[in-house]
Amino acid sequence: MEKKINDFLTILKTENDKKEALFLLDDLLENLFKTDGSLSVFIKKSSQSPVAKSVISLLPDGWENPQDKDDLEKMIIKIKNTVQNLKTVNITVAVNPNETMLQSLNDWASKNFESKIIFDVTVNPEIIGGAIIVSGGTYHDFSLIKRLKDVMEAGKNEIIASLKTN
């Protein structure tokens, strides 16, 4: 079961993934004990999203008619609490990250930290490249726009003088 949970968490890369997962888990808990087929409808409806697929993958075999739904409920609540407590790092980047980039970030986080980290990604093309990172009340601007400004400010007079002489 622990392995299933770890695999599930691996799927969650961004704050949006986290929110979607929490929403699905709440919905699952709400429909878990209904006998009117609502749970089946939920499963079919949510099966399109990778996060939803991973949520469904958490369910044990024969979940459609579980003998002991109480154990299942306990497990879902435990997963939900784990997701809620995941550490979030705010990161601003210049381009909209694709799946490869998100996976790369996730891999880097898994490699460098024991606990799971979720990235709350904001896109701002003005920063050109690099990233602005806010976590735990600290601010780090490693954007290219800042580096460009620093470089140009340092060599501003020389640049202008060079242009004038040429």
Partner 1 sequence: MINPQLLVFLIGAIILLSIIVVSLVISYGASLKRLKKLQENEDALYKKTIEEEKNIVEQAQTDYQGIIKAADEKAKEILNQSAQINQTSEKELNDAVAGLAEKEKNEINARSQILLKQYEEQIAQINDNSINILKNISEDIKTSVISHFDELKKLMSEQTFESKKAAEEKIKVEYDELEKELQNYKQKQLQEVDQKIYQIIFNVSKAAIGKGLSMDQHQELILDALERAKNEGGL
Query: End-to-end alpha-carbon separation of the chain, Å?
Result: 70
Is 78 near partner 1 (CB under 8 A)?
Answer: no
Is 86 near partner 1 (CB under 8 A)?
Answer: no
**Distance in angstroms (rounded) separating the CA atoms of residues 117 and 105:** 10
Is 105 near partner 1 (CB under 8 A)?
Answer: yes
- Do the beta carbons of residue 11 and residue 26 sit within 8 Å? no
Helix (H, G, I), strand (E, B) or coil at 92: strand
Among 156, 158, 165, 166, binds partner 1 (CB under 8 A): 156
Is 29 near partner 1 (CB under 8 A)?
Answer: no
- 74-105 residues labelled b (16+ CB within 10 A) or e (exposed): ebbeebbeebeebeebebbbbeebeeeeeeeb
Size, binding site for partner 1 by CB under 8 A:
37
According to CB under 8 A, which residues from 117 to 146 bind partner 1? 117, 125, 128-133, 135-136, 138-140, 142-145
Minimal distance in Å, beta carbon 72 to partner 1? 35
**Distance in angstroms (rounded) separating the CA atoms of residues 157 and 160:** 5
Is 77 near partner 1 (CB under 8 A)?
Answer: no
Is 95 near partner 1 (CB under 8 A)?
Answer: yes
**Distance in angstroms (rounded) separating the CA atoms of residues 65 and 88:** 36
Which residue ranges make up the site for partner 1 (CB under 8 A)? 89, 91, 93-95, 98, 100-101, 104-105, 108, 112-113, 117, 125, 128-133, 135-136, 138-140, 142-145, 148-149, 152, 156, 159-160, 163
